Amino acid sequence: MNIIQTAKVLSIRILTESTYILRIERNKFKFIPGQCVNIGLVGSAVNREYSTYSGTKDTYLEFLIRKINGGAVSVGLSQLTPGEEVTLDGAYGTFTIKKPAKIGKYIFVASGTGIAPFHSYVKSYPKIDYRIIHGIRFDSEQYDKQDYGKGRYVSCISRGKGGDFSGRVTDYLKKIPIPLDTLYYLCGNRAMINDVYDILRIKGVNGSNIITEVFF
């Protein structure tokens, strides 16, 4: 693990009204794709966990962050300007791909910014055989979908128009065949994860082939 350190902000890329990519200096920061980092505002003594979004070969660190109304950290980070610093602690967690060299098939199910660790996997392990099923409200939330291989990204849009499927990820999963020789990684809000877990189990997926990370 890295020691607690500070890093300069390189850029903030606005994706939607409430979501942005925070890019900071990496220096020698080490992480395994899927791990999270505690990020804080310098001098505030408050930090929050954010999953790595960038890949291990990138020279910078990136995080995909949703601004939460009244949120202590997600709003403050969005207001930083290049050259200002954040504190970093980590990386932590086991929401990782265990043997990337021998990877088989993966289905990644995300809600909202829960797609962050999957983006990091895809950038870090370009040969993996995966599909991403992304639950979002509006088509503007198909963050960086061009970064995923052709036919590998499916958006499920619950409110707006556009995207690949109209409805929630749970509606989509109920309709499609569910392969059993596949590992399922679920990331995002707890309600989505619980519902998807139940659907996969009912369709015959072994519980040990379902790996989860709850954001809130």
- Interacting residues with ligand FAD (CB under 6 A): 36, 48-51, 63-66, 68, 71-75, 112-113, 116, 213, 215-216
Nearest residue (beta carbon) to ligand FAD: 71
Q: How far is the CB of 63 from ligand FAD (least distance, A)?
A: 6
Pick between residue 84 and residue 203 the one whose CB is nearest to ligand FAD. Answer: 84
Quick check: 199 and 174 in contact, CB under 8 A? Answer: yes
Quick check: 90 and 35 in contact, CB under 8 A? Answer: yes
Pick between residue 15 and residue 75 the one whose CB is nearest to ligand FAD. Answer: 75
Pick between residue 63 and residue 108 the one whose CB is nearest to ligand FAD. Answer: 63
Q: How distant is the alpha carbon of residue 132 from its chain centre?
A: 11
Q: How far is the CB of 208 from ligand FAD (least distance, A)?
A: 21
Q: Decide: helix, strand or coil at residue 130.
A: strand
With a CB cutoff of 8 Å and minimum separation 6, the contacts of 45 are none
Q: How far is the CB of 48 from ligand FAD (least distance, A)?
A: 4
Q: Decide: helix, strand or coil at residue 112.
A: helix
Q: How far is the CB of 84 from ligand FAD (least distance, A)?
A: 17
What distance in Å separates the CA atoms of residue 81 and residue 150, rounded to the nearest whole number?
35
Pick between residue 4 and residue 191 the one whose CB is nearest to ligand FAD. Answer: 191
Q: Decide: helix, strand or coil at residue 62.
A: strand
Q: How far is the CB of 170 from ligand FAD (least distance, A)?
A: 18
What distance in Å separates the CA atoms of residue 206 and residue 146, rounded to the nearest whole number?
32
Pick between residue 74 and residue 170 the one whose CB is nearest to ligand FAD. Answer: 74
